[in-house]
Structure 1
Amino acid sequence: MVCPRDLTLSHAPQSYIVYQLCPGKDSCVIMQISISNSIRRVIDFKQLRVFSGNHSGGVKDKYKMTRLKCVLVTILSSTNLLLLLVISLMATQYPRTHHFCPDDWIGFQKKCYYFSKEEGDWNSSRHDCITRGADLTIIDTTKEMDFLKRYKCTADHWIGLEITENQTLQWVNGTMSKKWFPVRGNEKCAYLDNDGAATARCYTDRKWICRMQMH
């Protein structure tokens, strides 16, 4: 319920807009909020007697404040209200999407990475990734390569790259490698070490890296 515009306190700035709300039965609070000068004062409902006593026919007599359980909230200028409205509309039109990775995974550029603690051959490593809803990692950019080398520490890790029968490099998603980074060796399965990518026999045991899209 909005209070009449002439219902203002003697110490309240004239530019304030006064609202009247009734939240409860037995207690009431007068609240004055000033955003510009960061002043907030809360006055107990009982203190209304001071104002009604200083103003003949004031708040108590004219509006029967002893029977109203209300909160007076004062708000600054329409500029602040307009700013809040614009922010609210932007939040509605552009909702914030929260992405996350599962526990024990690391997020990087909207993807999640799992660095195994155990070791296994290339096929069992890939099987583990698939059971986690992922696959052995593909490396798309130099930044991603640097990220993987930084977080794998000193251990070698299997990655999702194979050498086909015609000696071409193929990722586990079926795409061919663009060969933007060198791959050492002539074996079938690729892994990542401190110097970059290399190949080894697929049955040897190494740690592995899984990758999936961030949810």
Structure 2
Amino acid sequence: PCTAQVEGGLFEGGRPWPGQPASLTPPPIPVLRGPRRFSPTHCKLCPMDWLSHRGKCYWFSKDSKNWTESRADCSAKSSRKLVIQDQEEMEFIQNVTRGKYHVWLGLSVTSAEKNWTWVDNSVFPVTGPTDVNSCGVIKGNRIHSETCSAEFKWICQKEAVLL
């Protein structure tokens, strides 16, 4: 289980002390009061207002921007735009968004060869016609091509920090 321990008595309220990360996964259980020295644990931490899932942290925008502006926003948050690794991650995103809006992915056509590439530089193997100014977006349960200048919500992701 995920526990944060220090020497002393129980920490009341189930919340970390001021200045400590506010999101623990799984949810925090009582913490010991005393000097702020942690014993070895297996807690994965995400910043406040980020969702934790399978060792990653996800931030969901409330407004809309074009692909380039949304990528810059993720960089400013020391993260990157969403890279879908598998069907389970896609289902997690769909459950959070409930399919109500389109979401930019970290996927774009980056070269004259018209290869689809994720922001982590891995190739997304897609066949068919593609424009150079194309970027990936989730619509419902599928990935679609959109003009990069269109404005949609976006998702940033980064690895959770092991405590």
TM range (shorter): 0.5 to 0.7
Q: Does 1:146 align with 2:91?
A: yes
Q: Which amino acid aligns with 1:160?
A: G
SS in 2 for 1:100: strand
Structure with the larger RCO, 1 or 2 (CA within 8 Å, 6+ apart): 2
For 2:140, the equivalent position in structure 1 comes to 194
Q: Which amino acid aligns with 2:88?
A: K
Greater Rg over alpha carbons, structure: 1
Q: Does 1:176 align with 2:120?
A: no
Q: Which amino acid aligns with 2:137?
A: Y
Instruction: State whether residues 115 and 210 of structure 1, in contact with CA within 8 Å, keep that contact through their aligned partners in structure 2.
Output: yes
Query: Residue 167 of structure 1: CA displacement?
Result: 2.3
Instruction: State whether residues 184 and 199 of structure 1, in contact with CA within 8 Å, keep that contact through their aligned partners in structure 2.
Output: no
**Number of paired residues?**
119
Q: Distance in 2 between matches of 1:172 and 1:192?
A: 15
Q: Does 1:207 align with 2:153?
A: yes
State the TM-score, normalizing by the size of structure 1: 0.52
Unaligned 5+ segments in structure 1 are: 1-93
1:141/1:128 CA distance change after superposition, 3 Å: same
Query: Residue 195 of structure 1: CA displacement?
Result: 3.0
Structure 1 residues 65-80: aligned runs within 5 Å: none
Q: Which amino acid aligns with 1:150?
A: N
For 2:26, the equivalent position in structure 1 comes to none
SS in 2 for 1:173: coil
Q: Distance in 1 between matches of 2:95 and 2:129?
A: 22
Query: Residue 185 of structure 1: CA displacement?
Result: 7.3
**What is the CA deviation profile of residues 148-176 of structure 1, one whole-angstrom value per residue up to 9, with x for unaligned ones?**
11112311010100123212210111111
Select the residue among 71, 79, 85 that pairs with 1:134.
Answer: 79
Unaligned 5+ segments in structure 2 are: 1-38
For the aligned residues, what is the CA RMSD?
2.0
Q: Percent identity?
A: 27
State the TM-score, normalizing by the size of structure 2: 0.67
Q: Distance in 2 between matches of 1:171 and 1:202?
A: 14
Query: Residue 115 of structure 1: CA displacement?
Result: 0.8
